[in-house]
Copies of this chain bind each other. A is one copy, B any other.
Amino acid sequence: MASTSATDIPPEVQAVNIPDGTTDFIPLRGKKYDLKKPHITELPITWSNWYKHVNWLNTTFIIFVPLAGLISAYWVSLQTKTLIFSIVYYYFAGLGITAGYHRLWAHTSYKASLPLKIWLAAGGAAAVEGSARWWSRDHRAHHRYTDTDKDPYSVRKGLLYSHIGWMVMKQNPKRIGRTDITDLNEDPVVVFQHKHYIKCVITMALIVPTLICGLGWGDYAGGFIYGGILRIFFIQQATFCVNSLAHWLGDQPFDDRNSPRDHVITALVTLGEGYHNFHHEFPSDFRNAIEWWQYDPTKWCIWMWKQLGLAYDLKKFPHNEIEKGRLQQQQKKLDQKRATLDWGIPLENLPVVSWDDFVQESKNGKAWIAVAGVIHDVGKFIQDHPGGKALINSAIGKDATAIFNGGVYNHSNAAHNLLSTMRVGVIRGGCEVEIWKRAQAENKDIATVTD
């Protein structure tokens, strides 16, 4: 890993002092904040001001309306046709978020033709998670400032916060990291959807399902409650899991410095967005799951659209780069484990003994055996030697390098390790290569110390 890490530079400086070409986010809905006055989030929550901390608009849409829908469902019976339609519409809206908002607009991981873009923007609106422009801006900040205070849905603030809290509670617009969305401002579909967001949402999320079920099989009420309100609720909770569950549950095969994790459960819930450690590492890859047997229906759809000529320029990180990342993370874990084990007295801390002294001491009763230039005291081990007492005794006071390494028996790696715990000295002269090779095998880092 090359040197400087984010922590060396105070966060305030990171995005501000160095010009980064960012054009700031211009909110279209919501109140205009006076940036000079302290924002409500900068004041502590008290009994008298708590309701000012709540984002009532969001709370209405993600909590009150679904609750009302759940209660109404008691009086509206669910017809089979309406159920099937709601499930299909669920996938349409879900893919609007995953294939549209996320992989197309936030990450530009592929290019889409105009009809596909309109289709995805319509699906995204049906999911009621904000405009593609707003969503992508926040999401880019999430990637760029993952786990920091500038991350709009940092899991470091708690699982519930990353799932829903960041929407229910008001956010300080000064806090969210700035990101470059010039490309989105040039996309007519994104701009249209953003400008006419409320109209788009009401049409796609409520009117269309109501009309389809109503005109189709006369179930206006079911279309509104199940195809509209309750479907929205499920799709919201499922996609919110990418911000919560995907930063909390699973493995980190590519990098464990930040919170993103890979888990099949998250993938199942989120139309394939659950391989999130991979995704944060290779965000502009149109895939989240790279193995064919992993569940990533969003990837399958993009691939299918490509076959139909609707999508093109699908970006993939080279296999070699992905495997390099995986390998380095494995190496990191291995090095961490290596540091917890006892590798015997380091060779450079052993006394240097002349050959004659070694022979003399062995004659005086020490159970010393030389292997690869290192002297070992096998006294306590003779009794336990799996090859018998006679053999190991026969090597005392001798250089057993050849005998130990195949002459009589080609000892296992385990035997070599055990041998290193018996070190008492190094023989003067002549065997440096072997000593050095052993140091290499045991702890690769030693090379950086002794060379």
* Chain A interfacial positions (CB closer than 8 Å to B): 1-9, 14-15, 18-21, 107-108, 144, 180, 182-183, 254-255, 280-284, 315, 317-318, 320-325, 327-331, 334, 337-338, 341-343, 371-372, 384, 386-388, 390-391, 394, 401-403, 405-410, 412-414, 416-418, 421, 434, 437-438, 440-441, 444, 447-448, 451
Across the interface, name the chain B residue whose C-beta is closest to A109.
B386
Identical copies of this chain, number: 2
| CB <8 Å contact, B390 and A180 | yes
| CB <8 Å contact, B386 and A283 | yes
| CB <8 Å contact, B254 and A2 | no
| CB <8 Å contact, A406 and B444 | no
> Of B6, B394, B418, B451, which one neighbours A21 at CB under 8 angstroms?
B394
- Measured CA separation A423–B342 after assembly (Å): 39
Across the interface, name the chain B residue whose C-beta is closest to A282.
B414
> Of B7, B20, B406, B448, which one neighbours A440 at CB under 8 angstroms?
B448
- Measured CA separation A256–B8 after assembly (Å): 43
CB neighbours (8 Å) of A337 from chain B are 323, 327
CB neighbours (8 Å) of A384 from chain B are 284, 315
| CB <8 Å contact, A18 and B324 | no
| CB <8 Å contact, A386 and B107 | yes
Shortest A280–chain B CB gap in Å is 7
| CB <8 Å contact, A325 and B417 | yes
Across the interface, name the chain B residue whose C-beta is closest to A315.
B384
- Measured CA separation A282–B180 after assembly (Å): 59
CB neighbours (8 Å) of A180 from chain B are 387-388, 390-391
Q: Given A315-B384, A323-B341, 19 more contacts at CB 8 Å? A: A1-B441, A2-B434, A2-B437, A4-B402, A4-B405, A4-B407, A7-B406, A8-B406, A9-B407, A15-B408, A18-B408, A107-B386, A183-B388, A321-B418, A324-B343, A324-B414, A327-B338, A329-B413, A331-B444
CB neighbours (8 Å) of A438 from chain B are 2
| CB <8 Å contact, B5 and A281 | no
| CB <8 Å contact, A391 and B21 | yes
| CB <8 Å contact, A408 and B327 | no
Across the interface, name the chain B residue whose C-beta is closest to A447.
B447
> Of B327, B343, B390, B418, which one neighbours A182 at CB under 8 angstroms?
B390
| CB <8 Å contact, A330 and B334 | yes
- Measured CA separation A82–B133 after assembly (Å): 78
CB neighbours (8 Å) of A403 from chain B are 18
- Measured CA separation A372–B4 after assembly (Å): 10
